[in-house]
Amino acid sequence: MNIITVINAKGGCGKSTIAMNLASGLARYEHRVLLMDLDPQAQVTQWLAAGDGLTPEGTLVSALTRQQSLSEVIQPTGFERLSFVASADGLEDLGREISQTEGYPSMLTQLLAEEHIADRFDFIVIDSPNQISPIMENAIFPADAFIVPFESTKAVRSYASIYKLLVKLRSGNDFKMLHVLSNLTRLPGLRKRVLTLLRDDGIASARSEIRSCGWMAQVDENGGSIFHYRPLSKGAQDMAALVEEVRELFTNGRSAQTEAAETNDPGSQTEPLAEAVAA
């Protein structure tokens, strides 16, 4: 089983859009997928119209506080092979409370292990909050891969703080990374500035880019994924390419770091980001 966390410390960069559509895209490939909403804003929870996801019962809050088992709060969705764990308002408060507990960043990891969730799913996709917090740390701790969306130069700058946290929590650097341009094609000038900044910071972009697509902006209101809502749209094409790239990432069994180091690319992310972390 592979765990993919969609993350950046920047609001509105496309995390939830990517998490939801990636999860349903992987499920379309016959994978058994668990989508976990770790964002107190509960965007994905509302998107899936998953009942009263705003009260703790039946949500991640209840599992993390051990009032219910994680298995008990896993819900089916309208999509075949896609299951779901809802977020709730209380997640933010819970984050503050657990920060006093030793080893809190691994709370979710422990639940996943105790309940052998890995036996039941091929992929877990985690939507993370947009601010560094104990809940975000729980989203980082178990991940095998991170998808980092960039929709602005601010998102590129926010990435330095996220990367610092990744390195702190995951000292072995044993994770894969995909840096994905998101919703930038509507603003070519900004897109160019983002690309320049990424290059200057030595951050290699993923092959896939999620272009701006009006249907993508509306898909949440329709409760489905872009594949069901507008299967021929640019958004569906781009998400399908991202799903493919994610699958390759795990088939190849190579990390982004290894590839960057092996290609000796002057734009390799390793050095400049290491500098950013040290700064």
Ligand X SMILES: Nc1ncnc2c1ncn2[C@@H]1O[C@H](COP(=O)(O)OP(=O)(O)OP(=O)(O)O)[C@@H](O)[C@H]1O
Residues binding ligand X: what is the number (CB under 6 A)? 20
Q: Which residue, 37 or 137, is less far from Mg ion as judged by CB?
A: 37
Cα separation of 79 and 230, whole Å?
15
- Site residues for ligand X, 127-186, by CB under 6 A, read 130, 182-183
CB of 86 to ligand X, least distance (A): 15
Among 11, 78, 223, 272, binds ligand X (CB under 6 A): 11
Piece of 56-64, 166-174, 210-218, 240-248 that binds ligand X (CB under 6 A): 210-218
Piece of 133-141, 209-217, 255-263, 270-278 that binds ligand X (CB under 6 A): 209-217
Among 14, 56, 105, 134, binds ligand X (CB under 6 A): 14
Residue nearest to Mg ion (CB): 16
CB of 188 to ligand X, least distance (A): 14
- Site residues for Mg ion, 236-275, by CB under 5 A, read none
Contact predicate 64/17, CB 8 Å: no
- x-or-dash string of contact with Mg ion, 6-25, rule CB under 5 A: ---------xx---------
Q: Which residue, 183 or 268, is less far from ligand X as judged by CB?
A: 183
Piece of 54-62, 83-91, 133-141, 214-222 that binds ligand X (CB under 6 A): 214-222
Query: What residues make contact with ligand X under the rule CB under 6 A?
Result: 11-17, 39, 41, 43, 130, 182-183, 210, 212-213, 216-217, 220, 235
